[in-house]
Structure formats: structure tokens, C-alpha cells
């Protein structure tokens, strides 16, 4: 199921319950990549970005993939940046509580920052998952996907900032079977 809202006008709240098995194994199996190709999403949100030059058409795509996520930046319908945070095995493990900064050239953006934290949930996992839904849903552009089987099995993405100079997003990956939540923060910045 892919949600494709209109590119202009108001966007409805996107909270989707899928009839697809929860696929990630654990937070420790998550890998991070800026080199992985597109993966077919289970649910998506497409966001037009403000142009720095008034000509190029850039779009940010928030994708939930098998309980993980990809964020894709495209310009004039060509992919220029793909952040993948998923249980894929072959990519680099994230450094918990460490900010990773990468320089590059992605549709006028030149710096990417990524940070993720792992939280062990001591209390009610249902309450912790409800807090994730509330935090992600506080942003106008967000996507929350529930998976069947385990209460609290969900992945959430939210666009947290969007200007001509930078775009930021956050993700939450909830693992009720291990009582853990992974929260990531990402940012793309243009040349200063």
C-alpha cells in the first residue's frame, strides 16, 4: 500500500495499519547507508521542497520499508540522495548517540547529518509506542505505520523542518519483542 497525497494543498494525517508481518529482527541488526538503492515501500509520503533557485523541482520522499525506512531526495524526477536505515545486513552499523556528518552534492545540499539513539523501555511498551505516535503526529507531514501481531510494532517518520536552506526529519522504529525504540534525527543543509 503506497499513500500518494497531492503535491499541493493540505495533507491528511497519515496513520496506516498494514496487514504485513513485522520484518525487522532487532535494533542491533539495523544498518545505515547513503549508497543503497531504492527499496519498494510499504507506505510513503511525498513532499515538495522549496527551491533555492526557483527552477529545480525537488521532492523528499518518506518511505516505510519492512519496518525500517528510506528517505529519498529527488530533483526533476531523478534520485540524488537516499538515506536507508534498515535491517539489511551488508551496510554499516549505526553508532548509537553519535552524530555522523557526510559531505556530498545532493540537489544543492552539501551536508548530511544523522544521529540515532536506542532506548530500552522499562515501563509499558504500549504507552511508549503511544508517545511515539503523539510525537511524530505533532508534525504536519508525518507517516505512522502499524504492523500486526505485536502491539506497539510500528515505524514512524516525520518532516520536522523545511526551509530553502535545510530539511530535517526524524524516525522511530519500535521493537516490542525486545522492548526497544530507536529514534533517529537527520538533516540535509545547503551550501553556507
pLDDT along the chain (192 residues), means of 10: 33 59 75 93 89 74 90 92 88 87 93 97 96 94 89 93 93 94 96 66
Angle at 41 between CA 69 and CA 172, to 5 degrees: 25
**pTM for the full model?**
0.86
Amino acid at each position: 500500500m503506497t499513500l500518494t497525497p497531492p503535491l499541493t494543498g493540505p495533507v491528511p494525517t497519515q496513520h496506516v495499519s498494514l496487514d504485513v508481518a513485522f520484518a525487522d529482527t532487532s535494533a542491533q541488526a539495523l544498518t545505515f547507508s547513503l549508497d543503497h538503492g531504492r527499496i519498494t515501500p510499504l507506505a510513503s509520503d511525498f513532499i515538495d521542497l522549496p527551491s533555492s533557485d526557483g527552477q529545480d523541482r525537488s521532492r523528499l520522499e518518506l518511505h516505510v520499508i519492512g519496518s525500517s525506512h528510506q528517505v529519498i531526495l529527488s530533483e526533476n524526477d531523478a534520485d540524488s540522495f537516499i538515506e536507508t536505515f534498515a535491517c539489511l545486513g551488508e551496510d554499516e552499523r549505526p553508532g548509537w548517540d553519535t552524530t555522523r556528518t557526510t559531505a556530498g552534492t545532493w540537489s544543492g545540499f552539501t551536508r548530511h547529518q544523522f544521529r540515532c539513539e536506542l532506548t530500552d523501555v522499562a515501563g509499558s511498551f504500549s504507552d511508549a509506542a503511544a508517545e511515539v505516535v503523539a510525537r511524530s503526529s505533532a508534525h504536519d507531514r508525518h507517516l505512522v505505520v502499524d504492523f500486526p501481531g505485536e502491539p506497539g510494532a510500528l515505524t514512524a517518520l516525520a518532516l520536522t523542518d523545511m526551509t530553502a536552506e535545510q530539511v530535517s526529519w526524524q524516525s522511530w522504529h519500535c521493537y516490542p519483542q525486545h522492548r526497544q525504540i530507536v529514534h533517529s534525527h537527520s538533516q540535509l543543509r545547503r551550501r553556507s
